[in-house]
């Protein structure tokens, strides 16, 4: 096998390496404007974090605002352990998504001054997986509770909340994949 490479006559390997561009997608160019310097993976991650924030808000809101019918006693989701677990995990996902959204906006605005990039990548990778696990476990526990709620005022809000919880899991799992990609790129470069 023959590999063609530029000739290095009269140049040292250090000088040759200076002419090669860094393939890292996390480096900013000085001559570019702010939005073109932001890697597309960072903007995608920011959009997904925003989607997780909205979906978790809808999921929590569905359980807290129950429809009231005449002649029926008001029921609360706090009396049902499965729905309470789903609500708590959804609130955790909401707070985590808000934190990651704030961190992402600060990274774009201040170019990563608040939290170091290496620590941020490790933290995002670990916490994305943790929140995704909690979301899928709360969705699976909540699905088992849906048949027992049929015919009660809790049925529709619990279906909406658990569906949104599963959607948040899909978004968070995608964020975990992006975090893993960023972490692998950081480690390999």
| Residue-by-residue DSSP string for 123-166 | HHHHHHHHHHHHHHHHHHHHHHHTGGGTTSTTHHHHHHHHHHHH
pTM of the shown model: 0.74
pLDDT given at position 20: 45
pLDDT given at position 151: 77
pLDDT of 119-151, one tens digit each? Answer: 888 889 999 999 999 999 999 998 888 887 777
pLDDT at 14 over 60: no
- What does the block give as tokens for 12? 């040292």
Least confident of 75-79, 106-110, 180-184: 75-79
Phi, psi of 5 (to 5 degrees): -140, 155
The helix-helix angle for 155-188 and 81-110 (nearest 10°) equals 40
- Per-chain mean pLDDT for the chain: 79
pLDDT of 26-44, one tens digit each? Answer: 544 444 455 555 678 888 8
pLDDT at 1 over 80: no
pLDDT given at position 113: 66
pLDDT at 170 over 80: yes
For residue 160, give the nearest of 146, 147, 148 by alpha carbon. Answer: 146
Q: What is the mean pLDDT of residues 148-170?
A: 86
pLDDT given at position 117: 77
pLDDT of 40-70, one tens digit each? Answer: 888 888 999 999 999 999 999 988 887 666 5
């Amino acid at each position: 096998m023959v590999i063609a490479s530029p000739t290095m006559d009269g140049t040292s390997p250090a000088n040759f390496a200076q002419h090669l561009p860094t393939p890292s997608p996390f480096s900013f160019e000085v001559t570019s404007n702010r939005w073109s310097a932001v890697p597309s993976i960072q903007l995608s991650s920011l959009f997904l974090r925003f989607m997780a924030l909205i979906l978790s808000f809808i999921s929590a809101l569905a359980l807290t605002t129950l429809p009231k019918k005449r002649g029926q006693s008001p029921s609360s989701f706090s009396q049902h352990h499965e729905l309470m677990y789903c609500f708590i995990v959804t609130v955790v996902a909401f707070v985590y998504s808000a934190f990651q959204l704030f961190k992402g906006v600060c990274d774009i605005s201040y170019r990563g001054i608040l939290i170091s990039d290496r620590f941020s990548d490790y933290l995002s990778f670990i916490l994305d997986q943790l929140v995704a696990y909690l979301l899928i476990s709360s969705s699976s526990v909540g699905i088992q509770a849906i048949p027992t709620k049929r015919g009660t005022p809790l049925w529709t809000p619990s279906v909406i909340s658990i569906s949104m919880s599963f959607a948040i899991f899909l978004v968070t799992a995608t964020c975990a994949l992006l975090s893993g990609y960023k972490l692998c790129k950081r480690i390999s470069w």
